[in-house]
Amino acid sequence: MEAQAAHPSQHYVTVSAGEPNADGTFPAPVITFECRDPEAKCHTYPACDCDHWTEGHAEKYGEGHQLEHHDRCWLEDWFDVDAASYTGRDATDEFDHGFPRGVNRSGPITVEWAHDYPEWNFVQEASDV
């Protein structure tokens, strides 16, 4: 999959910590991803069901593998299944997504491709909510 740099105002994440359990611990956070530019490059990717792609994908695999514009950003599915990994200073290995318990945060993000999955972090102006 080609890494497509995320413009900070384009990709946005809201993390909800939820309410503490009776024992005072917080449940797993709920992470909501939003792409705010439906015309951005992140909405253009091959129409095939391949797990990944690189430059020249259509030329290598032929018909059905051409780049097409989609309604969904390619990152949405990764966030939907908690497979995009948070890399901030407070990241934890408790969850696959890496976000710690008990923190509400919202803001634009940056994204990098890490061989098999996207890694993300808030840009500096992210706010705890």
CA proximity to 44, closest of 79, 84, 73, 7: 73
Under DSSP, the state recorded for 9 is T
pLDDT score of 8 more than 60: no
For residue 80, the SS3 value is helix
Q: Determine contact, residues 28/96, Cβ cutoff 8 Å.
A: no
DSSP string, 29-79: PEEEEEE--TTSGGGEEESS--S---TTHHHHH-TT-SEEE-SS-TTHHHH
Q: What is the pLDDT of residue 3?
A: 46
The pLDDT-based confidence of 2 (bands split at 50, 70, 90) is very low
pLDDT digits (tens, 9 = 90+) for 45-89: 898 888 778 888 888 998 889 899 999 999 999 999 999 999 999
pLDDT digits (tens, 9 = 90+) for 100-125: 999 999 999 999 988 889 999 999 75
Count of Cβ atoms closer than 10 Å to residue 116 Cβ: 10
Q: What is the pLDDT of residue 6?
A: 46
Q: What is the pLDDT of residue 81?
A: 92
Q: Determine contact, residues 72/53, Cβ cutoff 8 Å.
A: no
pTM of the model: 0.80
